[in-house]
Amino acid sequence: MKNAKNILYIEDDVDIAGAVKILLSQNGLSVDVALNGTEGIIKATSKSYDVILVDIILPDINGWEVYDKIGSTVNSKFVFVSVLPLTSEHRHILKKPDVYEYIEKPFKKEDLLKIVKGLVMMQDHL
pLDDT tens digits, one per residue of 60-87: 999 999 999 999 899 999 999 999 888 8
Strand order in the sheet with 6-10: 30-34, 6-10, 51-55, 77-82, 99-104
Give the model's confidence band at 123: pLDDT under 50 very low, under 70 low, under 90 confident, else very high.
low
The residue type at 57:
I
Instruction: Sketch the domain layout of the chain as residue ranges.
Output: 6-124
Give the model's confidence band at 125: pLDDT under 50 very low, under 70 low, under 90 confident, else very high.
low
Query: Rounded to whole angstroms, how far apart are CA atoms 85 and 14?
Result: 22
Query: Rounded to whole angstroms, how far apart are CA atoms 126 and 122?
Result: 7
**Cβ atoms within 10 Å, residue 51:** 26
Domain topology for 6-124: Rossmann fold (3.40.50)
Look at residue 1 in the predicted model and tell me its pLDDT.
Answer: 37
